[in-house]
Structure 1
Amino acid sequence: MLKLENNKTREDRVQVTATESTSVGSRKWPSIGASIENMGRAGFDAAFLDYLRAICDAEHFALYHIEGDELCDISAGGATLTGVAGKQAKIYAAGGFWRHDPGLEPLWNSEADGRPILAHMDIDEIEHDEMRERIYRPHGVRERVVLSARLPRSAVTISLIRTQRSGPFAADGLARLSKASEGIMAMAMKHVDIKQSSTDASEALTSLPAIHACLSDATPSLARREAEVCARILYGMTSLGIALDLGIGEESAMTYRKRAYSRLNIGSQRELLLWYLEQWSHQRINVAASRLQ
Structure 2
Amino acid sequence: MTRIRQDTGYKMRAWRLEGAASDAALIQDAVAKIVTGIGVEDFSHQVLQQVNRVMPVGCWSVYRVGGSQPRMFLSSTYQRKDTTADSWRAYLSGPHLADKSFILDSTGITSPAITHLTAEEIPTPLHRDKVYRQFDMSERLSVVEAESQSEIFALNFYRYNDQRLYSDHELAAFEALAPALLAAVRRHLALSQQSHLTNAMSVDAVRLIFQARRPDLTERELDVVARTVLGMSYEGIATDLGLKLPTVKTYRNRAFDRLDIHFRNELVRYYLLLASAPK
Is 1:160 equivalent to 2:157 in the alignment? yes
Match of 1:100 in 2: 98
* SS of residue paired to 1:73: strand
Return 72-81 or 153-162, whichever deviates more: 153-162
Q: Is the 8 A contact 1:204 1:211 kept in 2?
A: no
Q: Is the 8 A contact 2:100 2:124 kept in 1?
A: no
Structure 1 segment 140-219 matched on structure 2, within 5 A: 140-151=136-147, 155-201=152-198, 204-205=201-202, 211-212=209-210
* SS of residue paired to 2:101: helix
In 1, Cα distance between equivalents of 2:14 and 2:34 = 26
Is 1:16 equivalent to 2:14 in the alignment? yes
CA deviation vs aligned residue, 1:100-138 (integer Å, no higher than 9, x gap): 3333111797787xx431111111122323322222212
Amino acid at match of 2:168: A
In 2, Cα distance between equivalents of 1:111 and 1:287 = 33
In 2, Cα distance between equivalents of 1:227 and 1:155 = 40
* SS of residue paired to 1:28: helix
Match of 2:39 in 1: 40
Return 186-195 or 146-155, whichever deviates more: 146-155
Structure 1 segment 100-139 matched on structure 2, within 5 A: 100-106=98-104, 115-139=111-135
Q: Is the 8 A contact 2:31 2:180 kept in 1?
A: no
Q: Is the 8 A contact 1:20 1:179 kept in 2?
A: yes
Gaps of 5+ in 1: 217-221, 235-263, 267-274, 289-293
Shift of 1:155: 4.4
Amino acid at match of 1:224: L
In 1, Cα distance between equivalents of 2:3 and 2:21 = 16
* SS of residue paired to 1:143: strand
Q: Is the 8 A contact 2:76 2:82 kept in 1?
A: yes
Larger radius of gyration: 1
* SS of residue paired to 2:183: helix
Amino acid at match of 2:159: R
Match of 2:30 in 1: 31
* SS of residue paired to 1:102: coil
Match of 1:88 in 2: 87
Distance 1:22 1:4, change over 3 A: closer
Aligned length: 236
- After TM superposition, the score normalised by the length of structure 1 is 0.64
Q: Is the 8 A contact 1:36 1:187 kept in 2?
A: yes
* SS of residue paired to 1:118: strand
CA deviation vs aligned residue, 1:36-89 (integer Å, no higher than 9, x gap): 122232221111101222223221100113595332211111114332123323
Is 1:283 equivalent to 2:276 in the alignment? no
Gaps of 5+ in 2: 228-240, 244-250, 256-262, 270-279
**Aligned-residue RMSD, C-alpha:** 4.2
* SS of residue paired to 2:138: strand
Shift of 1:96: 6.0
Amino acid at match of 1:283: R
Match of 2:234 in 1: none
- After TM superposition, the score normalised by the length of structure 2 is 0.67
Shift of 1:230: 6.6
